[in-house]
Amino acid sequence: MNRTWKWDPVLLWLGIASTIVGLLAIYDAGYARAAADGMVVPREFRSQLLASIVAVIGALGCWMVSKRNWRSLAWLGYGLTVVGLVVVKLIGTEINGAKRWIDLKVFTVQPAEFAKLFVILVLAAILAGRKQAPKPPRRPTHWAENLDWVWMPRIKRSWPLLLVLLAVGLIVIEPDLATGMVIVVVTGAMLFLGGVSRGSLVTLGVCCAVVVTLLVVEEPYRMERILHHGDRWSSDNIESIGYQTTQSEAAMANGGAFGLGLGEGRAKHTLPAPTTDFVLTTIAEETGLVGALAVLALMGGATWRLMVLARSADDRFGKLVLGGVASWIGVQACTNVVMANGFAPPIGVPMPFVSYGGSSLLALWMALGVCQSVLRPAAQEVTDEASSRDGRWHRRPRVSRA
C-alpha cells in the first residue's frame, strides 16, 4: 500500500530545535544544585531527556491517526482528561499546597497539561460541524421576542462552553489559576476563528474578567502578589513576596546584550524554580538578549507557522486545530516572558518546550503530531482508506477448492 504523507518540515524542526534548547537550558540551570547534592547530571535533565523521547514517539503516533478519527478521539481524550483531573483532586500528590500531579511511581502525570490539547480538539470538532445561526423572523420589538429569538438560541449554541468550564473548574480548584486562564484565552481565540460574533465574544470576555477577579480576591496570596508587585523592590518585599521576580529581573539585566557566559549565571543558585517557570532567566543571564530573543524566535516561529498552515487548511476542523495550538504556544510563551522580566507577577506558566516538565512536553509534541495529521487533505484520506480496504480484500488471490 502506497501512502503519501503530507507533513510540514518547518514545524517539525522548530519543535526539535526548541526541545534541544530546553534540554541544554535545563542542564545548565540544574547542574549547580545537582553538584551540591553529589550528582553529575541533574535529575531534571535525565527526566526531560526521557520525556523528550517519549514525546517524539507520541507525536509520531498522533501523526499516523487520520483527521477523521481525531474528531472521535477528541471526545475520548477529553473524557480521560476530566477523569484524570478528578483523580488528581482525590489522590493527587500535593506540592506547596497544590494537588496537580498523579504519582505513578515510575513517573508523574499532570492532567491539566493534556486538558489544553483535548479542549482544543473537542472545540474544533464542535465548531467545524456547526451551521450558521438562524436569523430571527423579523427585528425584535419586545424584550420577550428578543429573549426568544436572539438570546435563547445563543444560550443553546453555547453548550460547548460547559465542557471548557468543567475542565477549567477542575484545574482552578487544584489550585492552578494560570493554566485555567491559558485554556480560557485559547478558547476565546478558537471561538474567534470559529466565526462567533464579536458581541458574544465581548460578553464572554466580560464574564471571564468578573470571574477571574472574584477568584483573585478570594485567595489572599493572589491579591498580595498583585498589590505588592509594584513595590517588589522595597525592603519589605524584596526578600519575601517579591523575591523571585526581583532575582529574575536583576539576572536578566546583568546578562546585557551577549550574556555573562555559559555556566557563569547566578540566578540558578538563588531562584527556587530555575529549571521550570524561570528557565528563561538563566538563558538571558548567560547568553544575553541575543539568547533570549533566539528562544522567542523559536516560539514565534512555531506560532507563525501554525497560523500560516491554518490559513491554508482545506477544512474547518484542521484550521481550528492549527489555530488553537498556535494560540496555545503563543499565549503561554508571552505569559512566561512577562513573568520572567518582571512585567507581571509570578503566576506559574512554563515556557513551551523549554521549561522542565514531562507532561507539558508530551502534550505539546502530541499537539504537533495532531497538527501534522490534520494537514493531510481529506480527499487523500478517503483514497488511502479505500486502498487499505482493497489491500485487505485483495492481498492475495483466492484459490478454489473445487
Distances (CA, A) of 232 to 15, 79, 216: 36, 42, 19
What nine digits make up the cell of 355?
521549561
Pairwise CA distance, residues 214 & 154, whole Å: 25
Pairwise CA distance, residues 334 & 278, whole Å: 13
What nine digits make up the cell of 45?
535533565
Positive or negative, the Cα torsion across 3, 4, 6, 8? positive
The residue type found at 253 is A
Distances (CA, A) of 238 to 40, 104, 235, 246: 33, 38, 6, 7
Predicted local confidence at residue 93, as pLDDT: 87
Pairwise CA distance, residues 367 & 12, whole Å: 11
Pairwise CA distance, residues 389 & 383, whole Å: 10
Tens of pLDDT, residue by residue, the chain (402 residues): 344 557 899 999 999 999 999 999 999 999 878 877 778 889 999 999 999 999 999 999 999 999 999 999 999 999 999 999 999 999 888 887 788 999 888 789 999 999 999 999 999 999 998 766 666 666 766 666 566 656 656 666 678 899 999 999 999 999 899 999 999 999 999 999 988 888 889 988 999 999 999 999 888 888 888 888 989 999 888 988 889 999 999 999 999 999 999 989 999 988 988 999 999 999 999 999 999 999 999 999 999 999 999 998 889 999 999 999 999 999 999 999 999 999 999 888 999 999 999 999 999 999 999 999 999 876 555 555 544 444 444 444 444 333
Distances (CA, A) of 80 to 75, 170, 237, 238, 303: 9, 13, 42, 43, 27
CB 267 within 8 A of CB 341: no
Model pTM?
0.89
Question: Where are the chain's structural domains?
Answer: 9-374
